[in-house]
Chain A
Amino acid sequence: MKKLFSKYWGTIRIELASQLAYKLNFLLLILGPALVFFLIKINLWYSIFAARDNELLRGYTFERMLEYQTYVLVVTLLCQSYASRNISEDIRFGRISAFLLYPTSFMGYHFGAFSAAQILNCLSALIVLVIGFGSGILPLESLTHLAAGGSMALLVSLLWFCVWFLLSSSSFWIEESWVLRVLFTMVARFLSGAIIPLDLFPPKVLEFLWYTPFPYLTFIPVQLCMGSSSVTFHDAALMTVLWLLIAAITARVLWSKGLRLYAAAGM
């Protein structure tokens, strides 16, 4: 156990050092996309509410939507930033060869790298929260819900990690698997409530979405942060763990099958 922890901690240390080596790169890769996406959405919702003379939109005022989207930014920073790691390309160009020879698991190595990224992501999310509460965008009352929302977001980040690993494993079969990843990200963003809150979706669509992992990716953690979730933390966590197990097992099976096709190109 001590040796396992030593490997894990060693990976975290080295990954932290690598990720902080290029400060601008870190800002552009992790903060940049989430922040730009946030500003575009705020601009869009501002125009929608202005056109409706700030009329309520199924219970949402512009201020409430701003709060929702700010929490989406926090959840995105906590959950999705590992997407910038291009495991697919590493597989395609044979860059995983060295890792396959070390007496440690490749998924384990990436879990260590993911944990290192999460330390930095938590710091970024904390900065957004401080700005949000300081500027009044986030009401101080929601502070009490942050523990539940934040814990849920961290659990969801594990689900994202497994989904990402699963999608990357497709590179053993598909040469250009980035299309698959981009497509999944776009669909997930829309169906997880990262653009439009899911309670604004037609009820029939929402009913269907509850059978998928999408609401747990953004909508539920955000609602938990806002203290307005229709699902309890306990139920949401249980469902997320279920999806997490499905994704982890599928990723593991795909990875083992894919390795049989690995050609270790470029060596």
Chain B
Amino acid sequence: MIHCEALTKRFKIYKKDPGILGSLKSFASREYNEISAVRDFSFSVREGELLGLLGPNGAGKTTLMKMLSGLIMPSDGRLQVLGCDPFARAKEFRRRIALVMGQKSQLWWDIPALDSLELLRAYYEISRQNFNQRVDELGTLLGVNHVLRTHVRKLSLGERMKVELMASLLHDPKVVFLDEPTIGLDVVAQVSIRQFLLNFHKERGTTIILTSHYMADVEALCDRVVLILGGEKRFDGELSKFQRLLGSEKFLSVSFASAISVEDTFFVPFEPDWDPERTHVELRIPENALRSTMQQILERYPVTDFGTEQIPVERVMHSILSNPQLLSPSA
């Protein structure tokens, strides 16, 4: 479905010192830097996969999405999506993909959302019957049927994002690229979009590539994750393997009846994350030490509640980003 080999994208960046002097200097002679936003990136995505692209800002996730969707031309490498070269931008290819940009709207701002959908119906050559059925189905699933006749500029961010999703899925694409679909949304809207995507993927079997800074999106939706750091692929595998990257550790959260003293050093080896009142702590504990450590905590402290789980992706990402050496070169 998607296959790329040694994909590279270089950008020429123009450097300028601040201030008027910098402007004058750059007028006389301009300095350019060439940066590789994506370097030697290879991967394959099977039909029906739901893959999460992870990485900090500027890692190259969005550049990769732009190349996969045919918006920008790769500098080097081979790329095939649905058997086509995306940058050739054949109409048949464009009919089978969709890109949802969380930070950019594809709807017409000054008219009701339904009018935008009507125009997309004409562009994607969807029959009237199919269109009505799709609008009804997607509108119900996303809970936005009541806002379709409202001007887009008057919609809340969450409603707009849902209508954006609706607009992108109207033509029943085979591959959907989701770039930060839940950015800036409140928790309720995030959960509702996640749930919709999960159901949609299950029902239709659409191939979905997702980037998100919200690890909850990735945890809820993706079976496979690809980590990009500095434009290079650093991890490609199942989410459960990614969660075990830091070793076989468990995530333990403990609540106490009274505040624990700052001078108490018992928790220090477990990278504690305290709440401001110091009545709740989250710890990373090696699996083989979990039982004994838990016993000691229960004996020494006024524990009111506790729970263990796999280390959240958020925490794994945080550790990797602050210490990229944790990843072996072969990962």
Contact = CB atoms under 8 A, between A and B. Distances in A.
Given A98-B104, A103-B94, A104-B123, A262 B72 contact: yes
Contact of B122 (A10, A17, A101): A10
A14 interface: yes
A10 B131 CA distance: 15
A103 B91 contact: yes
Contacts of B121: 10
A97 B123 CA distance: 15
Interface string A15-28: 00110011000000
Interface residues of A, number: 28
A261 B110 CA distance: 30
B133 to A, nearest CB: 19
B71 A17 contact: no
Interface stretch (B49-57, B62-70, B237-245, B269-277): B62-70
Given A14-B111, A14-B119, A21-B111, A264 B94 contact: no
A102 interface: yes
A98 B151 CA distance: 19
A219 B4 CA distance: 56
A260 B73 contact: yes
A267 interface: yes
Nearest to B111: A17
B interface, over-half SS: mixed
A97 B110 CA distance: 19
A14 B115 contact: yes
Most B Cβ at <10 Å: residue of A13, A17, A263, A264: A264
Interface in B172-199: 179
Given A97-B99, A101-B94, A102-B123, 20 more contacts: A6-B122, A6-B125, A13-B115, A14-B118, A14-B119, A17-B111, A17-B115, A18-B110, A97-B101, A97-B104, A98-B101, A101-B70, A101-B97, A101-B99, A103-B91, A103-B125, A104-B123, A260-B73, A262-B72, A267-B66
10 contacts: A7-B122, A18-B108, A22-B110, A98-B101, A101-B71, A102-B120, A102-B123, A103-B92, A262-B72, A264-B66
Interface of B: 11, 62, 66, 69-73, 89, 91-92, 94-95, 97-99, 101, 103-106, 108-111, 115-116, 118-125, 151, 179
Interface of A: 3, 6-7, 9-11, 13-14, 17-18, 21-22, 94-95, 97-98, 100-104, 259-260, 262-264, 266-267
